[in-house]
Amino acid sequence: MFSPRDMTAMALKFLLSRAEMKDLHVQFGAILTVFDRCTEVGMCAIVKVLMTDARSRVYWDRSEAGMLKAADLTKGFTGLPGAVVAMIDGKKLESLYPSDLSDQNRDYNGWTHDVFRNLVVVWDPEGKIVDVGVNLPGNFHDSKSTLWCHVYDHIAALPDGHIVVCDSAFTCSGDMEGKLYKLKDKKDKDGEWENSEPTELDAMLTHIRQCAEWGNNVLTGCFRRLKQRLPTDNV
């Protein structure tokens, strides 16, 4: 009854919508069980095509020309100590509570008191994802997620003089010194927070690192299924 084009349309409708299956299947004139199977086949087909198409790869163009092109788009941020070639930020995706208590403990975030799976996404100045860690445990801090999925290693391998900007959740010492840059915590000698006005450098850094936050929100805003609580039985 349904062609490959129909099944692809069903899969895309499911991914781009927050509606339940019972409200979507009627739009295609399919019974619920058929719509469910068609959606699964469609998603598998999409994934297979993306895996074999070089244009869909997540990769960093580390050539000299690629780095210069990326840095040229951020050349207006003259106060930063290097050529900005990317921005990094984490994203929490709400998930259902796993039935197993050990799994719940793995994905429970004590700060927000909820259960998540985590993403860490690196965006270049053109709005392209160039590095990513997916499906990470919800109790991981952004920095730990970045370490586990080797994104820190990838940033450390950048050519000298090229930097990635981040927020306070990431570490900028050790191998990351000179490669990862964030707004410095302003505390006085007693460890108290200073109430000083932000400098021009602070404003620049805040502005450019927010591009990663916007990118993550665009990602979940487009694929609205990511705003639903994700199932816990699907790897």
Q: What is the pLDDT of residues 31-45, one digit of tens each?
A: 999 999 999 999 999
The model's pLDDT over 94-139, given as tens digits with 9 standing for 90+, comes to: 999 988 888 889 999 988 899 999 999 999 999 999 999 999 999 9
What is the C-alpha to C-alpha distance for residues 119 and 33, in angstroms, rounded to an integer? 31
pLDDT over 70, % of the chain: 93
User: What is the rounded average pLDDT of the residues 47-63?
Assistant: 89
Using the predicted structure, report yes or no on whether residue 190 has a pLDDT greater than 70. no
Instruction: State whether the Cα torsion 52-50-231-8 is positive or negative.
Output: negative
Q: What are phi and psi of 159, to 5 degrees?
A: -60, 150
- Taking the model in full, what pTM does it have? 0.85
| Contact between 118 and 95 (Cβ < 8 Å) | no
The model's pLDDT over 65-91, given as tens digits with 9 standing for 90+, comes to: 999 999 999 999 888 888 999 999 999
Using the predicted structure, report yes or no on whether residue 186 has a pLDDT greater than 60. no
Using the predicted structure, report yes or no on whether residue 193 has a pLDDT greater than 50. no
Q: What is the pLDDT of residue 99?
A: 86
- CA nearest neighbour of 128 among 206, 48, 70, 77: 70
User: What is the rounded average pLDDT of the residues 53-74?
Assistant: 90
Q: What is the mean pLDDT of the chain?
A: 89
Q: What is the pLDDT of residue 235?
A: 57
User: DSSP secondary structure string, 189-213?
Assistant: TTSPBP-PPP-HHHHHHHHHHHHHH
User: What is the rounded average pLDDT of the residues 178-203?
Assistant: 70
Strand bridging mode 129-137 / 83-94: unpaired
Helix (H) or strand (E) holding 135: strand 129-137
Q: What is the pLDDT of residue 232?
A: 77
Q: What are phi and psi of 87, to 5 degrees?
A: -130, 140
